[in-house]
Amino acid sequence: MEKENQTSVSEFLLLGFSSWPGHQGLLFALFLCLYLTGLFGNLLILLAIGSNNHLHTPMYFFLANLSLVDLCLPSATVPKMLLNIQTKSQSISYPGCLAQMYFCMMFANMDNFLLTVMAYDRFVAICHPLHYTTIMTPCLCTSLVSFSWVIATFNPLLHTLMMARLHFCSENIIHHFFCDINSLLPLSCSDTSLNQLMVLSVVGLIFVVPSVCILASYGRIVSAVMKITSMEGKLKAFSTCGSHLALVILFYGAIAGIYMSPSSNHSTEKDSAASVIFMVVAPVLNPFIYSLRNNELKGTLKKTFSQSKICSK
């Protein structure tokens, strides 16, 4: 039978973590807890930055955008996964699958760009403190974030349009908890060589280049910190930069494990675990590592909560 005459699929089945049938309740509770924690933490960051004019600086401008993205990234996958666990249904419609793929790619790309911009911001602040205000102007900060949003929006749109032209015949089982492009391409009965080439090219441009820039920025930061004479100052700087760099390594390591490792090393369990790290765990950790350890933010949050208590009385 010709492939063109085969029935096209109207929905896909997200197997996700169905290989753990006895732990669905535990998985539901775990992901719900992670999702709500990330939601609450990132909303607090947005509230604190928006309510305090003293926090309207480049660093907090980038943090606000990161918190917004970290609200959206897990929201593209976790609610659907929780609904599927709760209803014991694994289906997602074809348009819904393409939409989920688009938003996952868009917010992951934006997360990637913001981590790069924030690394550059810290590099300028530590290595060129006297020129910080002249370099990190409001115009430059707005341009960096706007340019990032443009690329993050149109790049996954290209992948989605290319995916929409493919034919899907009888196979509709996705061995993942969301519609990942690498899980969808093998299911197509069309020629996917161009799509695969685009995925490899984008990984090289959008993830490898920024990761190199981040490592270079933190390399210069470490070099500058080593010149600090005070041991207390060194420890404080290394504590902050080290936690930032650990999160960056976690984020990029998970992405590299999925999209840049040989296909022979892939398995459903490994890919799902790596995806959970950069799509769920990293957005939960971001507010704690980048923001809630900051004394200015904590002071603003305490002030906001104290004022809300007074108003409620």
> pLDDT, tens digit, for every residue of 56-112?
889 889 989 999 999 999 999 999 989 988 888 888 999 999 999 999 999 999 999
CA gap 199, 143 in Å, rounded = 26
Q: pLDDT value at position 261?
A: 62
Q: What share of the chain has pLDDT > 70, as a percent?
A: 84
Q: Mean of the pLDDT values across residues 118-146?
A: 92
Pick from 41-55, 204-218, 264-278: least confident: 264-278
Confidence of residue 268 (pLDDT cuts 50, 70, 90): low
Quick check: 66 and 118 in contact, CB under 8 A? Answer: yes
Quick check: 15 and 90 in contact, CB under 8 A? Answer: yes
Q: Mean of the pLDDT values across residues 249-270?
A: 70
Quick check: 17 and 272 in contact, CB under 8 A? Answer: yes
Is residue 140 over pLDDT 90? yes
- Residues 6 or more apart whose Cβ sits within 8 Å of residue 308: none
Q: What is the pTM of this model?
A: 0.86
Q: Mean of the pLDDT values across residues 211-236?
A: 81
Its sign, for the CA torsion 86, 91, 96, 99, is: positive
Query: What is the end-to-end Cα distance of the chain in Å, rounded?
Result: 74
Listed residue (251, 272, 143, 265) closest to 207, CA to CA: 251
Task: Report the amino acid identity of residue 273.
Answer: A
Is residue 1 over pLDDT 50? no
Quick check: 51 and 213 in contact, CB under 8 A? Answer: no
Q: Mean of the pLDDT values across residues 267-291?
A: 78
Q: How many C-beta neighbours within 10 Å does residue 176 have?
A: 21
CA gap 154, 173 in Å, rounded = 28
Q: pLDDT value at position 313?
A: 54
Task: Between 174 and 289, name the one with better pLDDT.
Answer: 174
CA gap 204, 202 in Å, rounded = 5
Is residue 243 over pLDDT 80? no
Is residue 3 over pLDDT 60? no
The alpha carbon of 6 is separated from its chain's Cα centroid by a whole number of angstroms, namely 37
Q: Mean of the pLDDT values across residues 168-188?
A: 86
Structure tokens of 117?
Answer: 């911009």
Listed residue (101, 107, 80, 267) closest to 184, CA to CA: 101
Q: pLDDT value at position 241?
A: 73
Indicate the DSSP class of residue 210.
Answer: H
Task: Between 21 and 45, name the one with better pLDDT.
Answer: 45
- What is the average pLDDT score of the chain? 83
* Domains defined for the chain, CATH in brackets: 11-301 (1.20.1070.10)
Q: pLDDT value at position 265?
A: 59
Listed residue (85, 74, 44, 26) closest to 287, CA to CA: 44
Q: Mean of the pLDDT values across residues 266-293?
A: 76
